Structure 1
Amino acid sequence: MQSPITIRLGARARRRIASEGLRAADVAIIPAAAGGPKGLVLHGLDLWLFGEFLRKAPRQRRLIGASIGAWRMAAGAFHDPVAAHKRLAHHYAHQRYAATVTSADITRNCRALLDEVLDGRGAEMLSNPDHHLSVIAVRGIGPLAQAAGSRWREAAGFLRAAAANAVSRKRLAGAMERVVFHDSRDDAAWLKQQFDAFATRFVDLSADNLRDALLASGSIPMVLQAVSGIAGAPDGAYWDGGLIDYHLHLPYQRDPGLVLYPHFSDYIVPGWLDKSMPWRRARDASLENVILVSPSQAFLAKLPNGKMPDRSDFKAYGQNHDTRIRDWTRAIGESERMAEAFARWVEKPDLKVTVPF
Structure 2
Amino acid sequence: MDSPITIRLGARARQRIAAEGLQPADIAIIPAAAGGPKGLILNGIDTWLFGDWLPRAPRERRLVGASIGAWRMAAGAFADPVAAHKRLAYHYTHQTYPAKVDAAYVTRTVRGLLEEVLGGHGDEVLAHPHHRLNVITARGIGPLANAGGVRWREMAGFVRAAAGNAVSRSRLAGAMERVLFHDVRDEGGWLRERFDAFASHFVGLEAGNLRDALLASGSIPLVLEAVRDIHGAPPGTYWDGGLIDYQLHLPYQRDAGLVLYPHFTDHIVPGWLDKSLPWRRARGQSGHLALDNLVLVSPSPSFVARLPNRKLPDRNDFKHYGQDHAARIRDWTHAISVSGRMAEALARWVEKPDLKQASSF
Aligned to 1:146, what secondary structure does the other structure show?
Answer: coil
After TM superposition, the structure 1 = structure 2 runs for residues 1-357 of structure 1, keeping only pairs within 5 Å, are 1-283=1-283, 284-357=288-361
Aligned to 1:260, what secondary structure does the other structure show?
Answer: strand
Q: CA deviation at 1:216?
A: 0.1
**2:153 maps to amino acid:** R
Question: Which whole-Å CA distance do the structure 1 matches of 2:37 and 2:318 have between them?
Answer: 10
Q: CA deviation at 1:164?
A: 0.1
Aligned to 1:16, what secondary structure does the other structure show?
Answer: helix
Question: Which whole-Å CA distance do the structure 1 matches of 2:229 and 2:159 have between them?
Answer: 25
Q: CA deviation at 1:235?
A: 0.6
Q: CA deviation at 1:280?
A: 0.6
**1:289 maps to amino acid:** N
Gaps of 5+ in 1: none
Question: Which whole-Å CA distance do the structure 1 matches of 2:50 and 2:250 have between them?
Answer: 22
Question: Which whole-Å CA distance do the structure 2 matches of 1:309 and 1:37 have between them?
Answer: 5
Aligned to 1:174, what secondary structure does the other structure show?
Answer: coil
**2:292 maps to amino acid:** E
Q: Please list the CA deviations of residues 254-292 of structure 1 after superposition, one character each: whole Å capped at 9, or x if unmatched.
A: 000000000001000000000011111001210000000
Question: Which whole-Å CA distance do the structure 1 matches of 2:173 and 2:229 have between them?
Answer: 22
TM-score, normalization by structure 1: 1.00
Question: Which whole-Å CA distance do the structure 2 matches of 1:9 and 1:346 have between them?
Answer: 13
Q: CA deviation at 1:121?
A: 0.4
Q: Which runs of 4+ in 1 moved over 4 A?
A: none
Question: Which whole-Å CA distance do the structure 1 matches of 2:52 and 2:303 have between them?
Answer: 23
Q: Please list the CA deviations of residues 161-199 of structure 1 after superposition, one character each: whole Å capped at 9, or x if unmatched.
A: 000000000000000000000000001000000000000
Gaps of 5+ in 2: none
Q: CA deviation at 1:153?
A: 0.1
Question: Which whole-Å CA distance do the structure 2 matches of 1:247 and 1:229 have between them?
Answer: 25
Question: Which whole-Å CA distance do the structure 1 matches of 2:338 and 2:302 have between them?
Answer: 12
Identity rate of aligned residues, in percent?
Answer: 72
Question: Which whole-Å CA distance do the structure 2 matches of 1:99 and 1:269 have between them?
Answer: 32
Question: Which whole-Å CA distance do the structure 1 matches of 2:187 and 2:308 have between them?
Answer: 43
Aligned to 2:132, what secondary structure does the other structure show?
Answer: strand
**2:12 maps to amino acid:** R
Q: CA deviation at 1:229?
A: 2.2
